[in-house]
Amino acid sequence: MSADGPDGCQACPSEWVDLCKMSTAVPSPRRVCRRLLHFCCWRGAAHVVHCNDDDELQRRRPRRSTALLDAATAACRGRRAPTSPLRDDDGALTSGGRRLFSRNGATVSCCRCRCRAVPRPAAPSRPSLFRYSDSVLTALFSSTVDRIGNKYRLGRRIGGGSFGEIYLATNILNGEEVAVKLENPQIKHPQLEYEARVYRVLAGGVGIPYVRYFGVIDGGYKAMVMDFMGPSLEDLFNFCQRTFSLKTVLLLADQLISRIEYIHSKNFLHRDIKPDNFLMGLGRRGNLVNVIDFGLAKKYRDPRTGLHIPYREGKNLTGTVRYTSINTHLGIEQARRDDLESLGYVLLYMLRGSLPWQGIKATTKKEKYDKIMEKKMTTPVDVLIRGCPNEFAIYLNYCRSLRFDERPDYSYLRRLFRELFIREGLSYDYRFDWTIKQEEEQARKAMLQTRAPLAAQAPKPVPTPPLTPGANGTDRGGRRY
DSSP state string for 364-416? SHHHHHHHHHHHHHHS-HHHHTTTS-THHHHHHHHHHH--TTPPP-HHHHHHH
Distance of CA 131 to CAs 124, 140, 144, 189, 470, Å? 10, 12, 19, 18, 85
Rounded to an integer, the average pLDDT of 336-340 is 98
Position 189 confidence tier, pLDDT thresholds 50, 70, 90: confident
274: nearest Cα among 355, 395, 376: 355
Residues 359 and 347: their CA atoms lie apart, in Å, by 18
Does the predicted model carry a pTM greater than 0.85? no
Residues 271 and 156: their CA atoms lie apart, in Å, by 30
Single-letter amino acid, residue 253: A
Per DSSP bridges, beta strands 99-103 and 106-110 are antiparallel
Which residues carry out catalysis?
A: 272
Position 98 confidence tier, pLDDT thresholds 50, 70, 90: very low
**Vertex 317 angle, CA 342 and 179, to 5°:** 65
351: nearest Cα among 250, 271, 228, 219: 250
CATH class of 231-436: mainly alpha
Residues 132 and 465: their CA atoms lie apart, in Å, by 73
pLDDT at residue 42 in the model: 34
Domain ranges of the chain: 148-167+179-227, 231-436
Contact 28, 11 (CB under 8 A): no
pLDDT at residue 220 in the model: 85
Position 450 confidence tier, pLDDT thresholds 50, 70, 90: confident
181 labelled binding-site residue? yes
58: nearest Cα among 46, 77, 39, 71: 71
SS3 420: helix
Homologous superfamily in CATH for domain 148-167+179-227: Phosphorylase Kinase; domain 1 (3.30.200.20)
Single-letter amino acid, residue 385: I
Distance of CA 52 to CAs 37, 59, 83, Å? 8, 11, 9
